[in-house]
Amino acid sequence: MTTPATPAHPVVELREVRKEFPGGSVAVDGVSLTVAAGTVFGVVGHSGAGKSTLLRLVNGLEEPTSGSVLLDGRDLAALGERGLRPVRREIGMVFQQFNLFRSRTVLGNVLYPLRLAGLDRAAARARAEETLAFVGLSGHGGRYPEQLSGGQRQRVGIARALATRPKVLLCDEATSALDPQTTGEVLALLRRVNRELGVTILLITHEMEVVRGLCDRVAVMEDGRVVESGEVYDVFARPRHPTTAAFVRSALHSAPQGPLLERLRERHPGRLVTVPVVDGAPAMDALAPLLRGHGVDFAFVHGGVGEVRGRPLGSVTLELRGEEAAVEAVAAGLAAASGTSAAPAASGTSAASVTSIASVAKAGGVR
């Protein structure tokens, strides 16, 4: 008999948190979320959605107007400035612009929080060097930040944040100032921080690629509210809120829309159908038998399949060619298999329409 796994305890918890600034601007409006120990939680949203304020509420730099923020079960507001100090040491911060001391060496930057925490010189140095080795910067301790690339600077930023062995790492757009390749390297490092050191990570970003590459769970914020949240694969595969769907489209091969769809229609006079590829959903399996059964030919015209959290996800758009009734039957069969209904045929063209990913088509409420 197997013992059911005990759910990880919450490291960060927001309960109905509202933050209103003097002048009436409401940056965070009734947000509740839970970041379980050992997980990576992403908050995604456009500029002004309230992400930075949310992070500042978690590290105690802002106090909620109402509601509560708990770190490992302790309500930050109840601690007072004195009580907050040791709790802040359990939090590491990683910033978009790295925020390193330019006048200190790499080693000096990593030593700083350790000396502040009261470690003696030898212990601090050993810890700093160990942490620099973990982030792949052994031998760089004597260099200055301006002698490093952006990716190396962020590694120093991460080493500095990790040096005091925090329980939770808060990442504020940690990769937004980096090119795509360096972003990938920093995300891989943060994954190691989570998996090998067991550090819980709460990150804010406006890039769905970051969520896709790193997070276990995600919350989508808009106008201070969480409009959708859930397991990353589920949110990618079946986004329910239009804002989420738009974020997902930015990171995936999704059903073509707008001018792209018009161009595809011009190039491909046959019927266009988009087949979602979702782990466990039958649409792709239905494709070959339907085409064979109805004697319909096809061409791939758009899309592709990638991976989210190690599971396949994407969509492919096909042009179906053949007898009108046979093409119609294939399109209907695919729509049935993917749980979608075909969009109405575009007027004035040969019955061209696109079945859209079911989940994108269904705008819904908060999960």
Residues of this chain that interact with ligand ATP (CB under 6 A) are 21, 23, 25, 27, 45, 47-53
Interacting residues of 101 by C-beta distance below 8 A, sequence separation 6+: 108, 109, 112, 145
| Residue closer to ligand ATP, measured from CB, 88 or 206 | 206
Q: How far is the CB of 49 from ligand ATP (least distance, A)?
A: 4
Task: Check residue 31 and report its DSSP letter.
Answer: E
Q: How far is the CB of 337 from ligand ATP (least distance, A)?
A: 39
What whole-number distance in Å separates Cα of residue 292 and Cα of residue 92? 57
C-beta atoms surrounding 9 within 10 Å: 12
Q: Is 5 exposed, middle or buried (0-12, 13-18, 19+ CB in 10 A)?
A: exposed
Q: How far is the CB of 27 from ligand ATP (least distance, A)?
A: 3
Q: How far is the CB of 249 from ligand ATP (least distance, A)?
A: 20
Q: Which two tokens stand for residue 340?
A: 């979608």
| Residue closer to ligand ATP, measured from CB, 25 or 149 | 25
Q: How far is the CB of 223 from ligand ATP (least distance, A)?
A: 9
| Residue closer to ligand ATP, measured from CB, 43 or 71 | 43
Interacting residues of 74 by C-beta distance below 8 A, sequence separation 6+: 87
Backbone angles phi, psi at 32, to 5 degrees: -120, 130
| Residue closer to ligand ATP, measured from CB, 10 or 45 | 45
Q: How far is the CB of 244 from ligand ATP (least distance, A)?
A: 15
Task: Check residue 9 and report its DSSP letter.
Answer: P
Residue where the block lists tokens 């759910």: 7
| Residue closer to ligand ATP, measured from CB, 45 or 276 | 45
The 3-class secondary structure across 263-331, one letter per residue, is HHHHHCCCEEEEEEEECCCCHHHHHHHHHHHHCCEEEEEEEEEEEECCEEEEEEEEEEECCHHHHHHHH
Nearest to 72 by CA among 18, 113, 35, 43: 35
| Residue closer to ligand ATP, measured from CB, 28 or 313 | 28
Q: How far is the CB of 210 from ligand ATP (least distance, A)?
A: 13
Q: How far is the CB of 26 from ligand ATP (least distance, A)?
A: 7
C-beta atoms surrounding 247 within 10 Å: 26
Q: Which two tokens stand for residue 56?
A: 């500042």
Cβ atoms of residues 360 and 255 within 8 Å: yes
| Residue closer to ligand ATP, measured from CB, 176 or 182 | 176
| Residue closer to ligand ATP, measured from CB, 70 or 221 | 221
Give the dihedral of Cα atoms 231, 234, 236, 239; nearest 10 deg: -110
